[in-house]
Amino acid sequence: MLSVIHVLGSMLMMFSITYVLPVVTSILYDDGHLVDFVVAAIVCFGAGAVVWAVTRRYKRELRSRDGFLLVTFAWVLMSAIATVPLMLAIPGLSFTDAFFETMSGLSTTGATVLVGLEFLPPSINLWRHALTWYGGMGIIVLVVAILPLLGVGGMQLYKAETPGPMKNDKLTPRITQTARALWFVYFLITVACIVSLNLAGMGWFDAICHAFAAMSLGGFSTYDASVGHFDSAAIEAVLIVFMLIAAMNFSRHFIAWQQKSLRTYVTDVEAKAMLWLIGLSTVGLALYVWAHGFYPQFSTALRHVAFNLVSIATDCGFVSQDYAAWPVFAPMWILMLSCYCANTGSTGGGIKMFRTLVLFQQAARELRMLVHPQTVTPVRVGGQVVQNQIVFAVLAFVVLYFGAVVSLTFALLISGLDFVSAFSAIIACINNAGPGLGVVGPASNFQGLTDFQTWTCALAMLLGRLEIFSVLVLFTPVYWRK
């Protein structure tokens, strides 16, 4: 335990470096909040240094089980320390709301409790978006490089059981090198997104903020109306492309860069399934919304459905229209897609497409065995056999996932929230998708929730971001036995 705290101290000292961006922004724009960020950086580094020094004698090699505690504590602690500049800069902002905002950022959820975003100081707005960008890369490194060593997480399943370069080629021989490689690819694609958004008509500051949110699938915006503020088909098209890229496995992007070839995407069964599902859903819902008379031309319906569906399905959370006003089937279908579409090793949340494919194949196997009980029928994904222990792990994850959804939804219901708002808020938060429906819909935000409801949603974000297992294992008696 103390060795984990020692590492946490080191991580806090490193986290203080993240304040450089808002400090530079505050200087450039002279927005009067330079002192706030300097104080926050000092508090962050100082707290980390004290913790590191006090626990220095307990330094040792971490075991796999320590990783669960470290990952959970790190996300909670960094979210808590990141509230300092927000509370200093925004009068009347409570710790509850500030923590919700920073947890939403670091978990790349994109739900917000703030209003008047366009009137926030530039350094504060950039800090919010920087948190999503750091959180997005953090979760990629966590899922690709760390969670497989702990025995959980989709990448372990993905590497072991799917075809193509990810199965046969290691990214790099060491975790640190893997992290650097992923950071490099993540940074390059982010730069490409910034330039593309600027060419599409965004100013440089808005382009940086929205590129951070798009690549992390964080969904924060610099305007209350989100992307709808720009009312630009070109900007929406650029964001659609980069949201889909961010929802794919980043290891694929690295391999494509390394091999200077797009061949790796051809063998990516997750990406193909995601693109087919999103593509068919977009056309179908566009026809549905157009037929109900919400837009005069099909092309207009296709534009707005495409953007909002891709945004929610990939768990980003940008909004260009109040899609909650569409016929109820449409927003519910869009929200359902947020559970399944994001790929393993992406910045998205939810069950993930790999687990979804395994579930469908397992269901098909059970149906076949009802007719032919003696038949040996392995589960296959992308032509490769998935071992039974992997199937059982997926089933366990899905049980815990829906158990968490039901439990947290009832917690919101007992607190007085209506069913649609409660259910959609939990789905949106546990999938790290951003807006829900009802009082937390795309035309509003999470500001109207009580403190209890806000903390419940923050817990849902944490559970979803850390793949549920990493958090819930800490509450089992066996974990704490020596």
From 15, 24, 79, select the one nearest 46 (Cα to Cα): 15
Q: CA–CA distance from 149 to each of 65, 160, 346 (Å)?
A: 10, 13, 18
pLDDT of 331 higher than 80? yes
Between 451-465 and 95-106, two packed helices, what is the crossing angle to 10 degrees? 20
pLDDT value for 123: 95
Query: In sequence order, what are the residues at sequence separation of 6 or more whose Cβ sits closer than 8 angstroms to the Cβ of residue 152?
Result: 467, 469, 470
Residue 142 has pLDDT above 90, yes or no: no
Confidence check: pLDDT of 85 > 70: yes
pLDDT of residue 175: 60
Residue 120 has pLDDT above 60, yes or no: yes
Give yes or no for residue 136 having a pLDDT over 90: no
In angstroms, the Cα distances linking 143 to 15, 83, 343, 467 are: 19, 25, 11, 9
**Over residues 419-428, mean pLDDT:** 96
User: What pLDDT sits at residue 384?
Assistant: 78
pTM, two decimal places = 0.90
Least confident range of 143-157, 217-231, 436-450: 143-157
pLDDT given at position 87: 94
**Distance (Å, whole) CA 196 – CA 199:** 5
Q: Which region holds residue 346: left if phi is over 0, alpha if psi is between -120 and 50, else beta?
A: beta
**In angstroms, rounded to a whole number, what is the distance separating the alpha carbons of residues 296 and 326?**
14
The 3-state DSSP class for residue 251 equals helix
Least-confidence region, from 301-305, 329-333, 366-370: 366-370
What is the pLDDT averaged over residues 457-470?
91
DSSP strand E in 188-325: where? none
Specify whether the CB–CB gap between 143 and 153 falls below 8 A: yes
| Residues 108-119: tens digit of each pLDDT | 999 999 999 999
Rounded to 10 deg, the angle between the 451-465 and 419-430 helix axes is: 40
**pLDDT over 90 percentage in the chain:** 60
Check: CB of residue 323 under 8 Å from CB of residue 436: no
Query: pLDDT tens, 439-463?
Result: 999 999 999 999 999 999 999 999 9
Query: In sequence order, which residues have a C-beta less than 8 Å from that of residue 136 and are 6 or more positions away?
Result: 108, 186, 215, 216, 217, 218, 246, 347
pLDDT tens digits, one per residue of 17-32:
889 999 999 999 999 9
> What is the model's pLDDT at position 306?
97
Of 79-83, 348-352, 476-480, the poorest mean pLDDT is in 476-480
| 319-324 long-range contacts, CB within 8 A, separation 24+ | 319/225, 319/226, 319/227, 319/228, 319/434, 319/435, 319/442, 320/226, 320/227, 320/228, 320/231, 320/236, 321/228, 321/442, 322/441, 322/442, 322/443, 323/442, 324/437, 324/438, 324/441, 324/442, 324/443
